[in-house]
Amino acid sequence: MATSRCNREWYTSCGGDIDNESSCFKILHERSGHGARVGELRTGHGCVQTPVFMPVGSQATVKSLAPGDLRGIGSDIILCNAYHLYLRPGVEIVEEAGGLHGFMAWDRAILTDSGGFQVFSLAPLRQIDDDGVTFRSHIDGSEHRLTPEKAILNQEGLGADIIMVLDDVPSGTADGPRVLEAVERTHRWAERCLAAQRRSNQLLFAIVQGGRDLDLRRLSARTLSSLDFPGYAIGGLSVGESKASMYSVLEETVPLLPSGRPRYLMGVGSPEDLVEGVWYGVDMFDCVLPTRVARNGAVYTRDGRRNVRHADFKHQFGPLDPECDCYTCRTFSAAYVHHLFKCEELLAYRLATIHNLRFMHRLMGDMREAISQGTFAAFRDEFHARYRPTDETVRLAQRRRHRVTSTWQADDSER
């Protein structure tokens, strides 16, 4: 983003030299042979070190956690969802409270998704045209209209540091004319969002679409790059395609995005996908996966995911993960957390969520360190040699089942 589009006082207050810096994103380390890099993203509520994982707080809260928990984990940025907040409590209420930062007592950076994915997932409840989309609320059936201009107006009212364009999101199984239509409409809407933006202290990110079609992905990346957005997201992935397909899209798309702007992979949060995303040059990630699986008793370790509900945890009086420094692992035994889950005590969800988000934060920190030291290739190999991901067939089946049963639970409406 050119500094002429940054608010001067805001930019310098978070460490920028307005005369020497041409962007609100600075690359600190990058190595030849792969795309991974370490960067610093300057926002109105502090600087964010990248690559970074953003916890999801769709309704202005990361489920089961307070802002102090997030600060203790080490989070400098979280994601909130404009669709859910538009429906309740309403943008006007949040704006009256001083924006999201004042409303939820969070003094660090916030990114808001425009809500495009949520709206376009409402297949039986919405109608799309070139001007925008008319949809019915999943809460009470009331009718609403969302246009690119309204998406920007909503997010400006919410007051996030980073906001997203409204995009047309085709289904994961779409191909041919529907994907081309979505790409072309996304490009037109991106221009309208750029023209509609009035606040100078928010970074507006474009979203690359194209499904699994590599030619359309290349077209979308090149077209949006020419519009000179402050940042670029890759949308429409992790929606049921294979991991090989997702990695192929990243390999082709990421190098076409401007190197001096942050790159954001939307809705992707499996640890193995974070490592691969960073390898290809992605800087930012978000996903509900760590918080959702935590509430179901699954905890992350460098060896893979483990279910703390299993009986083998009953006599484990050490921490959930001996390598972890989170509040949960420093304070409680795995046997105690197992007991809480068996009794369905609410504390179980908080403790497991703290652990999983801290795992993500530590993983990103370790990757930043490895990139800085020039050892990321070895780190990647060692990670994959040790980490046991969820079986691909099981993963896809669980995703399909989850989308049918709980798509519109607020923390679970993910990209």
Helix (H, G, I), strand (E, B) or coil at 353: helix
For residues 59 and 409, is the Cβ–Cβ distance under 8 A? no
Please choose, from the candidates 24, 10, 29, the residue with its C-alpha nearest in 3D space to the C-alpha of residue 373. 29
Alpha helices (runs of H) in 36-176, residue ranges in sequence order: 67-73, 82-87, 91-96, 99-104, 116-120, 148-158
Please choose, from the candidates 311, 297, 305, 313, the residue with its C-alpha nearest in 3D space to the C-alpha of residue 351. 297
CA-based radius of gyration for the chain: 20
What is residue 172's predicted lDDT score, i.e. its pLDDT? Answer: 77
Residue 313 is classified by DSSP as G
What is residue 398's predicted lDDT score, i.e. its pLDDT? Answer: 57
- Domain ranges for the chain: 51-288, 293-394
Identify whether 230 is preceded by a cis peptide bond (ω within 30 of 0): no
- Identify whether 113 is a catalytic site residue: yes
pTM: 0.92
d(CA 414, CA 327): 27
Q: For 412, list phi and psi in degrees, rounded to 5.
A: -110, 0
The single residue of 286, 321, 411, 412 carrying the catalytic annotation is: 286
Helix (H, G, I), strand (E, B) or coil at 388: strand
In the block, tokens 């795995």 appear at 334
Within 15-107, strands assigned E span 25-30, 37-43, 46-50, 52-54, 77-81
Chain center to CA of 274: 11
Q: Which CATH architecture has domain 51-288?
A: Alpha-Beta Barrel (3.20)
What is residue 378's predicted lDDT score, i.e. its pLDDT? Answer: 97
What is residue 23's predicted lDDT score, i.e. its pLDDT? Answer: 75
* Beta bridge mates, 203: 162
Q: Could you tell me the CA-to-CA distances from 77 to 68, 70, 143 in Å, in that order?
A: 13, 9, 32
What is residue 10's predicted lDDT score, i.e. its pLDDT? Answer: 46
Q: For 391, list phi and psi in degrees, rounded to 5.
A: -55, 135
The single residue of 113, 161, 321, 412 carrying the catalytic annotation is: 113
Helix (H, G, I), strand (E, B) or coil at 361: helix
- Identify whether 286 is a catalytic site residue: yes
Digitized pLDDT (tens) for each residue of the chain, 415 residues in all: 333 344 445 445 454 443 334 479 999 999 888 999 999 999 999 999 999 999 999 999 999 999 999 999 999 999 999 999 999 999 999 999 999 999 999 999 999 999 888 887 877 889 999 999 999 999 999 999 999 999 999 999 999 999 999 999 988 778 899 999 999 999 999 999 999 999 999 999 999 999 999 999 999 999 999 999 999 999 999 888 899 999 999 999 999 999 999 999 999 999 999 999 999 999 999 999 999 999 999 999 999 999 999 999 999 999 999 999 999 999 999 999 999 999 999 999 999 999 999 999 999 999 999 999 999 999 999 999 999 998 876 655 655 555 444 444 555 444 4
Assign 3-state DSSP to the chain and report helix, strand, coil percentages, each to 5: 45, 15, 35
